[in-house]
Amino acid sequence: MTGAVLDRLRGGLIVSCQAYPGEPMRDPATMARIAHAVATGGAAAVRLQGPDDIRAAAPGLGVPVVGIWKDGDGDVVITPTLRHALAVAEAGAGIVAVDGTRRPRPDGRTLAATVAGLRERADVTIMADCGSIDDALAAQDAGVDVLATTLAGYTPERARGTGPDLELLDAMAGRCTLPVVAEGRFHTPAQAREALARGAWAVCVGTAITHPETITRRFRAAMVP
């Protein structure tokens, strides 16, 4: 099952459709329409946040859902516990992405215990959102199926530039045996192509495609003489 899902992602564009608390598009029906729109445009998979958005978007989507649930006010917020991961799977995500860092998790489980608990109760592909090469190597040992550079620059281990962390991508693609999804601050098609050339299995783009607030701000900033 996981092999077939990963085959579908190979060389593809995963589009992340997320609106943040208080934003006008934060509503499951809206996210579902955006998810279907990007699938029409050729997304290989759609990344969605929260069981409600996943439940609204998954039926008839035609491509796998990479599901997360951002919750809590600590450091670890992306699908932080086994309970969150099970809810994401139950909502219809074929791929469940979880925090893949080495930081303590709010339910006290290790990543390995979270992976084992999820596998016991759901037939899903498990993605680890990592922030460093050490995270990625540890997540691989913990038994996940696919790694992602999602948290590069969002933990103290890596600096956050304006663009993607291609250095971390190189390290992960070079040293890890699992497929690596390039994710985080990919703003242009050229950067996405570059990620594939550097060994990414797939590229996940969010803000540059589905976050009109940021896209509009970027245009406005560029128009200031």
Ligand X SMILES: CC(=O)N[C@H](C=O)[C@@H](O)[C@H](O)[C@H](O)COP(=O)(O)O
Instruction: Mark the segment that binds ligand X (CB under 6 A) among 100-108, 137-145, 165-173, 204-212.
Output: 204-212
d(CA 185, CA 188): 9
Of residues 155 through 194, those in contact with ligand X by CB under 6 A are 183-186
Which residue among 150, 155, 158, 200 contacts ligand X (CB under 6 A)?
A: 150
CB of 225 to ligand X, least distance (A): 28
The answer to whether 72 and 106 are in contact (CB under 8 A) is yes
Placement of tokens 């509503």 in the chain = 27
Of residues 15 through 74, those in contact with ligand X by CB under 6 A are 16, 18, 68
Instruction: Mark the segment that binds ligand X (CB under 6 A) among 3-11, 35-43, 88-96, 148-156.
Output: 148-156
Which residue among 117, 207, 212, 215 contacts ligand X (CB under 6 A)?
A: 207
Dihedral angle sign, alpha carbons of residues 204, 187, 171, 193:
positive
Contacts of 98 (CB under 8 A, 6+ apart): 68, 78, 79, 80, 84, 85, 111, 114, 115, 118, 126, 127, 128, 129, 144
Stated as kind and residue range, the H or E segment containing 136 is: helix 133-142
Contacts of 108 (CB under 8 A, 6+ apart): none
Kindly state whether residue 79 participates in binding ligand X, applying the rule CB under 6 A: no
Dihedral angle sign, alpha carbons of residues 207, 21, 94, 29:
negative
Cβ proximity to ligand X: between 66 and 82 the closer is: 66
> Tokens for 199?
């060994």
Cβ proximity to ligand X: between 18 and 132 the closer is: 18
Of residues 81 through 100, those in contact with ligand X by CB under 6 A are none
Stated as kind and residue range, the H or E segment containing 173 is: helix 166-175
Position closest to ligand X via CB: 206
Cβ proximity to ligand X: between 27 and 116 the closer is: 27
Cβ proximity to ligand X: between 1 and 26 the closer is: 26
Cβ proximity to ligand X: between 16 and 125 the closer is: 16
- Summarize as ranges the residues that interact with ligand X (CB under 6 A): 16, 18, 68, 78, 150-151, 154, 183-186, 204-208
